[in-house]
Structure 1
Amino acid sequence: MILGWSTVGLLSRLITKREAVRRQIEIISSACSYCISSSYSQIMGTSHNPCSTDWEHRIFAVDANPSLGYPEPFYFTSLTNKDRASPATSNEWPMLAHGGIALSVCITDPFPVSAARLHRSLGQQLAQLFSGTCHVLRLLSYLPQDPYASLLRGFFICDPQNCTSTQHRLKHLLSEHRQHISSFTYQQKPQGGIWQNVLELNGGEQEMEEHWQVVRMGEPDPSPFALNILHTAVYYSLSSTRAVLLQCSACIPEAARILELLDKCDTSAKKGRFPVIVIEGLDATGKSTLTESLKDSLKATLLRSPPDCISKWRKTFDDEPSLIKRAYYAAGNYVGACEIAKASMNSPVIVDRYWHSTAAYAIATEIVGSVHSLPPCHHEVYQWPRDLLRPDLVILLTVSDEERMRRMRGRGLEETKEEKELESNTMFRLKVEEAYKRIENPQCVIIDASPAKEMVLKETLNVVRKHCVI
């Protein structure tokens, strides 16, 4: 069979565009799946929660908030489930003292992106609704037999005055999202014990009879806060990064553009024969100055994270919930890895920030409280992703707090939310630095960047020669 030139040309164009077509199919499929699920819930008009029958077997974790008077996390579970968890020293609930009441809100939306957006929106509304009357804390819960797949996020509301309007206002706020929300109340009964009752969100005045007794417990293993990092804050594979970007690409066009860039990258490319050196550190520790000096001294290629090709969308993703924001930075690492692999074929490569920054800031943000609240050393949250190109050397620059603050004030540049947090919150700064130091494979080599830039460069070059073949 002989084909005409026009037919051949058409087939050629179709083959060339097949990847673009596949991408569009994936995006449309993701959007359709979300729409079908949402339409189903609206048509049925009832709460659809696959975990609803398992509430009695869940472990709940209320996060610390020292500024509100809760210095340590608070854990509890059903009385029938207590033997499976570590015991607590007492069953006293400070938030229920003197007749107080507590309420929990769990988001059960099965779609991670829409669940994350709902979580952020509700958090903002709850803080505004109960400002000055109730304390709103972060809540996590999971099933011990399936902790990874069953993790849910939400809020724990402490009402020390037990105001009659609290439940009514909460119901009114949650009723719009009742198909993706489960809510409970907690009260100490006169006959003793703490009881968890389902808060009906269907608009009726009569409460459901479903209730059970709950007890405090010690810190569970695995920690729900560490689980939350592993599944919503730090990405340990390209596939998990892509999954989130694909799901949100229907509502965030820039996510689709990043997926297209990832499709064009050879994310499995190996590092070339020249060394790859990453410079890490908090803002205003001298990273930019040092990376430029190293570039000249080593005749190296200088790259930055996020890469230039996606940095123009940074503001868009910084305004999104953590799940989406962190996916953007993770994607930046994988796109950057392709550039690193290519550049290291011809010269040494200096990288201004890489995966250490992505992970350290996320871990410090998700863990409330002091440095002691961070997951212990050698925990899996500190492990380098197996499918991401590894550098030969990672250098962490540190300076004294006084020097760093002086540099921050002298920069006169627009600060990100996290940069402002670093400037105002000493505890957050300490957590970020400690998370940097705990990341493994590779670990950071720490250099004091307080001296003059010439001295810092000299020490850095000594470290580079010690660890790399230049």
Structure 2
Amino acid sequence: MPLLPRRIMALLSRWSSRVSSVDVDGEALYFKIHGNQRIAAGKGMQRLFGNVEKDGKCYSLLVSSEDSLRSARFHWGLKDKLLRDLPPQCRLLPMSSFLPNVKDSLLRGYFLQVASPESSLTTERLLRQWLQDDDPLLVCSYSQVNKLDTPRWIQHLWNEEQNYEIALTEAPQYHPATLNLINNDVFYSFQEARDVIQKCADIIPEAASVLELLPCSGDMETRSKPDFPVIVLEGLDATGKTTLAESLRDVLGATLLRSPPQCLTPWRACFDQEPPMLRRAFYALGNYITAQQICSQTSKTPVIIDRFWHSTAAYAIATAVSGPLCDLPAEGSELYCWPTDLLQPTLVVLLTLDPEERKRRLRDRGQGETKEEQELDHNQLFRLRVEKAYKRISGPACISVDASSSAQQVLQQVLHLIKAKCQL
């Protein structure tokens, strides 16, 4: 067997301690190598392996590289490769592996349910070919055996040719994604986000153009309180942010800015097609460009901003932490804290709206939706996670305003808030 990479060797040294999670129809099923505290298999094992015929197999592919950017890009492209090349009888499910309660131990990948022996042969041949290409993959196959007339599932770890019995286990104290959010899904400093874009400049030509727009690191130090208030409007699409922002601009004689800033528009489509790590770094840097624009205006007028860091963080957290609301980071978590080097607004208004009314407004617009907005429309749980994350972010926290009233009534409510909170 060829010499294993150092990263793989480190993983294998703690393999028995790792827990795997597979997303089956929106529910996370957790399993690990069989230990003394075994949880009964029950329906969970049937859901994980039940569609596989006798002599069929399941497979797991985990992406592992010492280079986090390489891992992110490889994982992002792996799904298309699997869907394109594997037999149609192969079902693809999101998967991860992690050390419980250990930061930055998360590996992402896919779990393959292969329904028949014939499809298993084809799948295994393809996977072995890919492993020869020096891809950063950790591959396991799973097969059923009978022990004392009781079905058991065996994990065969290809990288070291070892077999382990596995069993379902309890959900961890923290959702595994929460231990991997910092500077992967949510960026808390200008330099961390810039470093990600800098690393990909050789492979993504557009990254160089983005870097040219960025302020110098020294310009991102925390600034003193601005002369005029900075008011951020947050909320899902079609809650009335644009209408309210323009009305406030006219009434207050304010400067209106939007995040991400218009200067990034030529490259948004490109980064929207990249892995979450790159996409989030791109939008995080948009906030810092907006902050620089704010600083150039607050000595002259109040500033109204259509979305800012709250949106960037709330969508990232709600996307990365799939599952029920209880899986989100708890209120007060460091994950909801404002970046120390990003200008803090004076007031953040979160416009809320009944989901059906919001959908009606979107239809009336006749505009195309972003991928995340489409997800909001058909996935109620995702929408609830976004809304909950919005409300937990501090520095400052959002103040919710019901946007179901007329535009004029909403304007008056917000003007009252501004008068009370901003001394205007």
The letter for the 1-side match of 2:8 is C
Deviation of 1:408 (Å): 0.9
Supply the RMSD in Å over aligned alpha carbons: 2.7
Separation in 2, partners of 1:219, 1:126: 28
Aligned to 1:444: 398
Deviation of 1:160 (Å): 4.6
Secondary structure of 2:238 counterpart: coil
Secondary structure of 1:230 counterpart: coil
- 8 A contact 2:104–2:180 mirrored in 1: no
Aligned to 2:176: 224
- 8 A contact 2:64–2:138 mirrored in 1: yes
Q: How many residues align?
A: 411
Separation in 2, partners of 1:468, 1:185: 61
Separation in 1, partners of 2:85, 2:381: 28
The within-5 A match list for 1:315-326 is 315-326=269-280
Separation in 2, partners of 1:347, 1:89: 64
Bigger mean CA offset, 276-285 vs 410-419: 410-419
The within-5 A match list for 1:390-469 is 390-469=344-423
Separation in 2, partners of 1:462, 1:293: 14
Q: Given the alignment, which residue of 48, 56, 59 partners 2:18?
A: 59
The within-5 A match list for 1:12-411 is 47-52=4-9, 53-54=12-13, 56-66=15-25, 71-79=26-34, 88=39, 90=41, 93-94=45-46, 95-97=48-50, 99=54, 101-130=57-86, 132-144=88-100, 147-161=102-116, 163-165=119-121, 167-171=123-127, 174-175=130-131, 177-191=133-147, 193-199=152-158, 209-264=161-216, 266-270=219-223, 271-411=225-365
Once the two structures are superposed, what CA deviation does each residue of 1:298-351 show, in whole Å capped at 9, x if it has no partner? 111111101122232111111111111110000111121122223222221111
Q: Percent identity, please.
A: 39
Separation in 2, partners of 1:387, 1:216: 43
Question: Would the alpha carbon gap of residues 65 and 455 (structure 1) be closer, same or farther in structure 2, given more than 3 Å must change?
Answer: farther
Bigger mean CA offset, 329-338 vs 232-241: 232-241
Q: Which has the higher helix share?
A: 1
Of the two, which has the highest radius of gyration?
Answer: 1
Question: Would the alpha carbon gap of residues 380 and 51 (structure 1) be closer, same or farther in structure 2, given more than 3 Å must change?
Answer: farther
The letter for the 1-side match of 2:374 is K
Separation in 2, partners of 1:77, 1:410: 49
The letter for the 2-side match of 1:267 is M
Separation in 2, partners of 1:388, 1:407: 33
Separation in 2, partners of 1:281, 1:371: 18
- 8 A contact 1:62–1:156 mirrored in 2: no
- 8 A contact 2:59–2:112 mirrored in 1: yes
Separation in 1, partners of 2:133, 2:193: 27
Once the two structures are superposed, what CA deviation does each residue of 1:268-304 show, in whole Å capped at 9, x if it has no partner? 1514121111000111111110001111111111111
Separation in 2, partners of 1:152, 1:164: 24
Secondary structure of 2:7 counterpart: coil
Question: Would the alpha carbon gap of residues 436 and 156 (structure 1) be closer, same or farther in structure 2, given more than 3 Å must change?
Answer: same
Separation in 2, partners of 1:51, 1:268: 39
Separation in 1, partners of 2:396, 2:39: 38
Deviation of 1:428 (Å): 2.5
Separation in 2, partners of 1:378, 1:328: 26
The letter for the 2-side match of 1:331 is L
Separation in 1, partners of 2:402, 2:323: 26
Secondary structure of 1:184 counterpart: strand
Separation in 1, partners of 2:112, 2:135: 20
- 8 A contact 1:396–1:447 mirrored in 2: yes
- 8 A contact 1:48–1:180 mirrored in 2: no
Separation in 1, partners of 2:100, 2:383: 33
Deviation of 1:169 (Å): 4.6
TM-score (norm 2): 0.88
The letter for the 2-side match of 1:109 is S
Question: Would the alpha carbon gap of residues 171 and 49 (structure 1) be closer, same or farther in structure 2, given more than 3 Å must change?
Answer: farther
Deviation of 1:255 (Å): 1.9
Question: Would the alpha carbon gap of residues 352 and 179 (structure 1) be closer, same or farther in structure 2, given more than 3 Å must change?
Answer: same
Unaligned runs of 5+ in 1: 1-44, 201-207
